[in-house]
A = this chain, B = another copy of it.
Amino acid sequence: MTAFADSSVAPSVTTGPITGSRKVYTDSPGGLRIPRRRVELTNGEHLDLYDTSGPYTDSEATIDVHSGLPRLREGWGLEPVGGAVSQLAYAKAGIVTREMEFIAAREGVDVELVRHEVAIGRAVIPANRRHPETEPMIIGKKFLVKINGNLGNSAVTSSVAEEVEKMVWATRWGADTIMDLSTGKRIHETREWILRNSPVPVGTVPIYQALEKVDGDPAKLSWEVYRDTVIEQCEQGVDYMTVHAGVLLRYVPLTARRVTGIVSRGGSIMAAWCLAHHRESFLYTHFEELCQILRAYDVTFSLGDGLRPGSIADANDAAQFAELRTLGELTHIARAHDVQVMIEGPGHVPMDKIAENVRLEEELCGEAPFYTLGPLATDIAPAYDHITSAIGAAQIAWHGTAMLCYVTPKEHLGLPNRDDVKAGVIAYKIAAHSADLAKGHPRAQERDNALSRARFEFRWEDQFNLSLDPDTARSFHDETLPAAPAKTAHFCSMCGPKFCSMKITQDVRRYAEERGLSTVEAIEAGMQEKSEEFDEQGGKVYLPVVNP
């Protein structure tokens, strides 16, 4: 890790468990240790949650960012099959890898489902052999919807240390993968710090570094510069790479009459190159050579949507779908080389045009996992695009999108800071989980039910600790009712003691239960008791725990 030697940076990262929970490890059938976040409840129960945060939230673990995370997957590598070392090659050959076993236990599904979905290309396991620090995860419509958090500095702001902390911070709150989109100085070094310390797969867009190598002039790019950059990043351990190989010369004119033209950085760079040389994109003409390189490391393709719409007006247009058709063609070429593939999607799409995006992607790209950026359901709310896009993301995930790339409140305005990263991750955990519920994921509703029961039973601490952000939920409650008694009060400041519907409902139930009847039977039996009884028992709903 020579990059570290020269380095002046010394990132300090957030460690320790999330409030109200602790790291536990459960054994897989094959004896692998599966990390979970356990929330202990005040009623003696507990709930184990899917955990993306890595060793940073384990109070037993010692964290040293200079030596990096433990190399969990070291020695997991198997002999090549047919010359390939990819999860896809093994899955096709009927081989269950340790990554697949880890994932099956982590998702609570049958390992054969994991192998099958990878074998047919409907799911991918981004796991570069040179990145043994990652905890294996899967991206596919049959599994929990995943979210990605974008990091990376730009020429005008942010430091390496900041980006490493953003990575730890993003995974703490639930990012399943992160992308390092650095475009400024010290790209290689920033990436080295992130890779060695990331518990989740890391994606990149190699064209950014390639462009830096030619002083930011797209016309000066060449296949050779790009190829060497890809090899450099494969060697370093990048797990998946965005490649805008679908931006063909003949598609550029289709963007001429758009409201917002080309909004993908990689897409606009390749369009500029194609026009400058009036030649077909070298990413397209050299695609098979790219497959050979990625195959050797088991790096996953994330075929980029360089022509995605950048506004509601441009959604689902000819340019977007022309590129998607080409991505489908490339998908089949990559699979023939046993290289895993996912497909990137928009962007900005009104709700009525969202489902069509998923349908077409599945049809044209052989059901390769879809990985979308939002989409934003409207353009009119800069500073709130984590919300405009969570609306679109929840729906597109429900329709089958496997991974959602988050959007932060700073989208379109500036580089996100640490708080923006958290806001983006939380909004996307909401979108992803809402989709898991709508898709009927067998275990998704456990958490909703546990939290709702805690809410109904006034177990305030449990309600906070089961939420996506216990600290904020608790502080919002305490703003108006800070004192300790309020943590057990059968009301909150929203309605006050007399008007808490849940309190009244409980009185209603107690009324019946104290008579050894369920409310149902109580009513069905006709309930001849005089009304005074109810008054004595539960009719008086005022509770003297007032705490202004």
Contacts and interface: CB of A to CB of B under 8 A. Distances in A.
Contacts of A395: 351, 395
Contact of A260 (B211, B452, B473): B452
Interface in A380-395: 380-384, 386-388, 390-391, 394-395
A535 B437 contact: no
Nearest to A275: B508
A384 B255 CA distance: 37
Contacts of A542: 215-217
Contacts of A156: 480-481, 493, 496-497, 546-548
Contacts of A412: 455, 463, 492, 494
A237 to B, nearest CB: 24
A82 to B, nearest CB: 39
B437 A211 contact: no
B430 A391 contact: yes
Given A391-B394, A391-B431, A496 B184 contact: yes
B467 A382 contact: yes
A76 interface: no
Interface in A355-390: 377-384, 386-388, 390
Contact of A380 (B466, B538, B541, B547): B466
A148 to B, nearest CB: 16
Number of copies of this chain in the oligomer? 2
B480 A414 contact: yes
29 contacts: A155-B498, A155-B499, A155-B546, A156-B546, A156-B547, A183-B495, A212-B498, A218-B541, A261-B505, A261-B508, A265-B501, A268-B502, A272-B541, A275-B511, A275-B527, A276-B534, A312-B448, A350-B438, A351-B395, A352-B438, A377-B434, A378-B437, A380-B466, A387-B387, A387-B427, A391-B391, A391-B394, A409-B476, A411-B494
A250 interface: yes
Nearest to A249: B523
A467 B259 contact: no
A183 to B, nearest CB: 5
Given A154-B495, A183-B498, A390-B387, A430 B378 contact: yes
A472 interface: yes
A433 interface: yes
Interface residues of A, number: 141
Contacts of A541: 216-218, 272
A135 B217 CA distance: 57
A86 B51 CA distance: 58
- Identify which of A255, A395, A451, A524 gathers the most chain B CB atoms within 10 Å of its CB: A451
Given A217-B542, A259-B452, A379-B448, 11 more contacts: A183-B496, A218-B539, A261-B501, A261-B505, A262-B504, A268-B501, A278-B528, A379-B449, A380-B467, A383-B467, A414-B481
B427 A217 contact: no
A539 B272 contact: yes
- Going nearest first, the 4 A-B pairs with the smallest beta carbon separation are A155-B496, A311-B452, A261-B505, A216-B498
A252 B437 contact: no
Nearest to A535: B219
A445 B508 CA distance: 49
Contacts of A310: 452, 456, 501-502
A265 B479 contact: no
A262 B501 CA distance: 6
Interface in A495-517: 495-502, 504-509, 511-512
Contact of A253 (B259, B468, B523): B523
Given A391-B394, A426-B384, A494-B410, A504 B351 contact: no
A111 interface: no
Contacts of A378: 430, 433-434, 437, 448
Contacts of A456: 259-261, 310-311
A453 interface: yes
Interface in A231-274: 249-250, 252-253, 255-257, 259-265, 267-269, 271-272
A55 to B, nearest CB: 25
Contacts of A498: 155, 183, 211-212, 216
Interface in A392-414: 394-395, 398, 409-414
A312 B268 contact: no
A447 interface: yes
Contacts of A546: 155-156
A275 B431 CA distance: 40
B252 A383 contact: no
A413 B501 contact: no
B183 A476 contact: no
Contacts of A481: 156, 414
Contacts of A381: 426, 429-430, 467-469
B377 A437 contact: yes
Contact of A383 (B429, B469, B495): B469
B252 A519 contact: yes
